[in-house]
Amino acid sequence: MVAHTPAEGRQDGRNGAPSRAVRIQSVAVTLDSTQVLRGVDLEVEAGEWVNVIGPNGAGKTTLLRAVLGLVPFRGSIGINGLRDRRRSARARHVAYVPQTPVIPPGMLVADYVLLGRTPHRGVFAAETATDRCIAAEVLERLDLGGFSERTVQSLSGGERQRTVLARALAQQTEVVLLDEPTTALDLGHQQDVLELVESLRRERGLTVIATLHDLTLAARYGDRVAVLSAGQIVQCGRPDEVLTVGTIAEHFGAQVRVIDDPEGPVIVPTAAPAPEFVSTKSAARSLPKEP
């Protein structure tokens, strides 16, 4: 595993301050008459990795979909200065690895990864030699070069997850959104996927926003942790600042111990105190006798 180290953001060229890759301001989303997000504010520097955590139903996936322009929202979302809010324009700047990807039956790995090139050439245009070269390079980088002619459904869970990540990387965007990228993976494959993302981030200067349920993984990968609760970002900072016993109890309703570790806090669930047991005989003896 990698140790937690802050990313070095690109400079904006005006005052030496790190540039903002993603700026989310006062974003609110209402779905089916239910307000899911209510005034979310979050800024992510270029080259930074921020993990968004929170209880089920907090709005984590909805936040990523708002950044992608897949759901209507109020407020503003800026992506590297992009003003065009059309989904096709955003797809050239932001790639997405969904929690449950839709994979057409019988699709070959090579063809699926090539779908990542669609924003650069249009839906109905044929892939170019450049597109095929980029897809092949990504497959090799993710150790999937020998899987090109296999169907995506025939792959193992870890291989399939790498294939979905390959499609996103083939888009060659500056920002990558990961929605629970370790879901349904064993511990070894969880590490493989997150280590790969970290390696690519440092090689290419990617900006990463991920949602994670595993708080220890959220602490060990990336630069900052943002807690999304009741539709708002309630806390954001370094993992050791945010992932405290009090914060986890308040927003997750969980009792935990937090163990300090050089690579980031380790979150250990603790058992709730057992209720005091009173036998029926003891209870009967404690009742007042009738006169």
The ranges assigned to domains in the chain are: 1-93+174-291, 105-172
Q: Say what the pLDDT of residue 289 is.
A: 57
Q: Say what the pLDDT of residue 125 is.
A: 78
Q: Which of 125, 163, 175 is nearest to 20 (CA)?
A: 175
Q: Taking the chain, what is the end-to-end CA distance rounded to the nearest angstrom? A: 72
As its CATH architecture, domain 1-93+174-291 has 3-Layer(aba) Sandwich (3.40)
Q: Say what the pLDDT of residue 276 is.
A: 63
* C-alpha triplet 30, 33, 36: angle, nearest 5°: 35
Tell me the three state secondary structure of residue 256: strand
Which range, 80-84, 173-177, 276-280, has the best average confidence (pLDDT)?
173-177
Sequence letter at residue 105: P
Beta-carbon contacts of 29 under 8 Å, excluding residues fewer than 6 positions away, are 35, 36, 37, 59, 62, 63, 66, 71, 72, 73, 74
Q: Does the structure show a pLDDT above 50 at 4?
A: no
Of 161 and 83, the structure prediction assigns the larger pLDDT to: 161
* The dihedral formed by the CA atoms of 191, 194, 195 and 201, expressed in degrees to the nearest 10: 180
User: Please, which pLDDT band fits residue 278 given cuts at 50, 70 and 90?
Assistant: low
Q: Does the structure show a pLDDT above 70 at 273?
A: no
- 179 near 99, Cβ under 8 Å? yes
CA distances in angstroms from 241 to 74, 92, 213, 235, 246, listed in the order given: 30, 34, 18, 9, 11
Record the pTM: 0.83
Q: Say what the pLDDT of residue 96 is.
A: 94
User: Please, which pLDDT band fits residue 19 given cuts at 50, 70 and 90?
Assistant: confident
Q: What is the mean pLDDT of the chain?
A: 86
Side-chain half-sphere CA neighbours of 136 within 13 A: 7
User: Please, which pLDDT band fits residue 18 given cuts at 50, 70 and 90?
Assistant: low
Ordered alpha helix ranges (H), the chain: 60-68, 87-90, 109-114, 118-121, 129-141, 157-170, 187-204, 215-220, 239-242, 245-252, 280-286
- 19 near 177, Cβ under 8 Å? no
Tell me the three state secondary structure of residue 79: strand
Least confident of 31-45, 77-91, 277-291: 277-291
CA distance 62 to 39: 13
Share of the chain above pLDDT 70, in %: 84
Q: Say what the pLDDT of residue 58 is.
A: 93
The pLDDT of 94-110, averaged and rounded, is 92
- Helix, strand and coil in the chain, % to nearest 5: 35, 25, 40
Q: What is the pLDDT of residues 128-169, one digit of tens each?
A: 999 999 999 999 988 899 999 999 999 988 889 889 999 999
Q: What is the pLDDT of residues 161-172, one digit of tens each?
A: 889 999 999 999
User: Please, which pLDDT band fits residue 185 given cuts at 50, 70 and 90?
Assistant: confident
Q: What is the pLDDT of residues 210-266, one digit of tens each?
A: 999 999 999 999 999 999 999 999 999 999 999 999 999 999 999 999 999 988 899
User: Please, which pLDDT band fits residue 189 given cuts at 50, 70 and 90?
Assistant: confident
Positive/negative CA dihedral, 104, 106, 112, 115: negative
Q: Say what the pLDDT of residue 182 is.
A: 86
Q: Say what the pLDDT of residue 282 is.
A: 52
* Token duo for residue 101: 């990807």
Q: Say what the pLDDT of residue 12 is.
A: 47
Q: Which of 258, 137, 148, 142 is nearest to 195 (CA)?
A: 142
